[in-house]
Amino acid sequence: MTFALGNDTQSPAWQIVEYLQRNASATIKEFEELLGVTPSAVRQHLTGLQAAGYVARSTANSGVGRPYHIYTATEESRKLFDCHCDDLALTMLEEMLEMVGRDNIDHLLKRVSGRLANRYAGAVKSPVLLNRVQEMAGVLGKLGVLTDVIAQDNDTIMLKTYNCPYHELAQEHRQICDMDQEMMQQVLGHNVALNACIMDGHGGCSFTVTKDRTVYS
């Protein structure tokens, strides 16, 4: 490859690929606003990322004015954000799922979600719903998961994730997604619904957290 992305997650190149991980596509103008640099500087970064296979370019026509370029992440770029469980733990869980059989998978994963919830609960302490979700996002961030927290109102918060720590396993066992949802619900102490999922072809997973008025009342 003629371009080295490097490990500096604050570099313009990393900011571009992370932005495309979070968004379906982007234009030169959006990258200008993101980086605070000139169009020629943006094009220079994009040229390097395209040459390395991290970014793809296509032409769009709005019907008014000249056609323009849009940029999207490639599969090679998405691999940069794969956050894998420890290989031994992931392999052991996979073997256990095979051993217990389909009838017992739900029971096993419910126990796993409980253990994970107990592990993460100490980092989620605020009685305020928004703060709790932000603390949960911080826990996920330490695992390498890209997150956004969006407050829809005081009682409804959206937690979005853009990569999955169980991606390979969830492709075979969709109950893993239920386990993740259940874990978050236990940690947050409020209702959590999974509204969009990477496994269904969405750009990320969207969890809607709604206030349970029996908690911290």
Q: What is the mean pLDDT of the chain?
A: 88
Domains 12-79 and 87-210 share a fold: no
Query: For 169-182, what is the mean pLDDT?
Result: 86
Q: At what angle do helices 12-22 and 28-35 cross, to 10 degrees?
A: 120
Contact, 160 vs 136, CB < 8 A? no
Segment 91-146, tens digit of pLDDT: 777 788 778 777 788 888 888 899 999 999 999 999 999 999 999 999 999 988 99
pLDDT (mean) for 39-60 = 94
Say which range, 48-57, 65-74, 143-152, 169-178, has the weakest mean pLDDT.
Answer: 169-178
Confidence (pLDDT) at 169: 78
CATH of region 87-210: 3.30.1380
Q: Which helix (H) or strand (E) holds 71?
A: strand 68-73
- The rounded distance, in Å, linking the Cα atoms of 123 and 106 is 26
**pLDDT tens track for 13-37:** 999 999 999 998 999 999 999 999 9
Q: What is the CATH number of domain 12-79?
A: 1.10.10.10
Q: What is the mean pLDDT of residues 44-67?
A: 90
Indicate if the pLDDT at residue 12 is higher than 80: yes
Annotated domain spans of the chain:
12-79, 87-210
The phi, psi pair for 178, rounded to 5°, reads: -65, -40
Q: What is the pLDDT of residue 101?
A: 74
